[in-house]
Amino acid sequence: MLVYNTLQSLLGLRIIGGRLPAGRDAAVRAVVELFREHGLEGFPFYALDFFGQFFSIIGRSVPRLIARAVWRKYAASLRGGEVGGHVASTFHFVHFARLLGKPVPHAEAILAKTLGLQEPDGSFNRMPDPAWDVHATFDACFIIRQLGKGSDCARALYRAARWAFSCRNRDGGFGHFPGRKSDMDACYFHAGTLVMCGILPARKVPSGTGRMLGWGHLLPAPSA
C-alpha cells in the first residue's frame, strides 16, 4: 500500500496545485528502497502497475531495475492473450507498457482474447462471481482502445457504452452493475468507459498529463 498511497497523494497534490512538493525526492527514495528490500514479493498483478503510475506522476522514468522486474513478472504470466487469466491483470500489463512507451507483446492475441470476453449484454467479465472484479468493462475498453481499431473494435466499444449506461441510476450516479446503488468508484469507472468509447467528450488537459490522470481513460491511443 505504500506505493499506492504515495502515488495517490502526489496525484492529488498535482491536480490541486499543479506542482509536486519538495519532498517528492524522499517519496522516490522510499519507493526504490521498498523495492530493493522486498522486490515484488506480495505484489499482485494489479499492484505492479502502481510503479508505472507513481513514476509517471513524478515525471521520471521508472528505474531500469524496477521496470525490468515488473515487465518480467507480467510477461511470465502471459498465456493465451491474458495475464493471470483475467482481463484486469491484462489491463494493468497493457497500461504499464503504455506508461513505459513500450510495444505490448502479443498485442494481437491480447486484443482477440479481450474481444472474445464480451458478454451478450456488452459487459466484460468471465469470472463466476461478477463482483470479483467490478472494473472489468473499463479494463477491456482500455485494452481495445489502445491495441485495436476497425469496425469490430468500434462495435465492441459501442456495446460496452450501452451497458455502462444501463448501470446509471435515477439519482444520476452509477452502480457497478445494473440495479446496484450509486457510488463514487462506479461513477468514475463508468464515466471513464464512456470517455474511451467516445460517448462522453474527453476533458482537455495540459499536454502530457493524460498519461498520469486516473487509470488511462485520458491516455491517448497510439494512433491518436
Dump pLDDT digits (tens) for 63-97. Answer: 999 999 999 999 999 999 999 988 999 999 999 99
pLDDT for 212 equals: 72
The angle, 0 to 180 degrees and rounded to 10, between the axes of the packed helices 45-58 and 24-38 is 150
pLDDT for 202 equals: 78
Those residues of the chain that have pLDDT short of 70 are 1-2, 15, 17-23, 126, 128-132, 206-210, 223-224
| Start-end of CATH 1.50.10.20 domains in the chain | 77-219
Query: How many whole angstroms separate alpha carbon 106 and alpha carbon 116?
Result: 16
pLDDT for 69 equals: 96
Query: How many whole angstroms separate alpha carbon 19 and alpha carbon 21?
Result: 7
pLDDT for 60 equals: 83
**CATH 1.10.760.10 given to domain 77-219:** no
CA angle 139, 200, 53 (to 5 degrees): 40
Cell of 93: 500489463
Cell of 73: 513478472
Kindly state the DSSP code that residue 140 receives in the 8-state scheme: H
Q: What are phi and psi of 219, to 5 degrees?
A: -75, 120
| Sign (positive or negative) of CA dihedral 48, 52, 57, 61 | positive
pLDDT for 170 equals: 95
Q: Which residues lie across from 79 on neighbouring strands?
A: 82
